[in-house]
Amino acid sequence: MHDRARPDRDRPEDSRRFRANNWLLIAIAFVLMCLGILIGGHLYGRYLASFNSTSTDNIIAELVSQNQKQKRVSDSLSAELTPMGIKMQSAQAALDSIMPSPNTYTIKPNQTLIVGDGHLMLGMVGAPGNDTIMLNVNGKQQPLAAGQTINVAPDPATRCQLSVQSFDVFKATLVAMCPGPKAK
């Protein structure tokens, strides 16, 4: 039989010292490796960035000039659009004065109109007062205030609604609707 001597049992201080030195060596190597990776990555990134610097600057300058051209075009179009919008609004106002919205009528004092598809005969009696106007609806006088709506039945098959939108000293604006069969 061999008689082997075990070295770790013979010298316990040496094995502890070797293990402690080994951990310290591993920690130092790890720190140096991390620093090497960081420095290498930084240098490699600077190397890659140096290639694209001039082309990137050229692209940025080109985009800035294109942006300025687009702003000038937008400003010129806006300058053309503003007078066109004003012209359109004035044309719309002129059209509205010639052709008012459907079922809307303007009546002057002592004037008579046939409205509601021929079902109602309206007349304003005298000038409007402060609060009300006097309307003759199919031969019957009725005082109406602005915003007031009345229902009128000229015949059993037709129901009409008459409302006063607004009025002043010179005219009144009325809305008259008569759903049902049209007059002949």
In this prediction, residue 102 has a pLDDT band, given cuts at 50, 70 and 90, of confident
Q: For 114-118, what is the mean pLDDT?
A: 84
Residue 106 above 80 pLDDT? yes
Instruction: State the residue for tokens 């000293």.
Output: 169
54 vs 89, residue with greater confidence: 89
Question: What does the pLDDT read at residue 75?
Answer: 92
Model confidence at 181, in pLDDT bands (50, 70, 90)?
low
Tens-digit pLDDT profile for residues 71-97: 999 999 999 988 998 998 888 888 777
Provide the edge-to-edge strand list for the sheet that holds 158-167. Answer: 104-107, 172-177, 158-167, 149-155
- Residue 18: which pLDDT band, with cuts at 50, 70 and 90? low
Region of 14 on the Ramachandran plot (φ > 0 left; ψ -120 to 50 alpha; else beta): alpha
Q: Distance from CA of residue 119 to its chain's centroid?
A: 44
Tokens of 153: 């039945």
Which pLDDT belongs to residue 22? Answer: 82
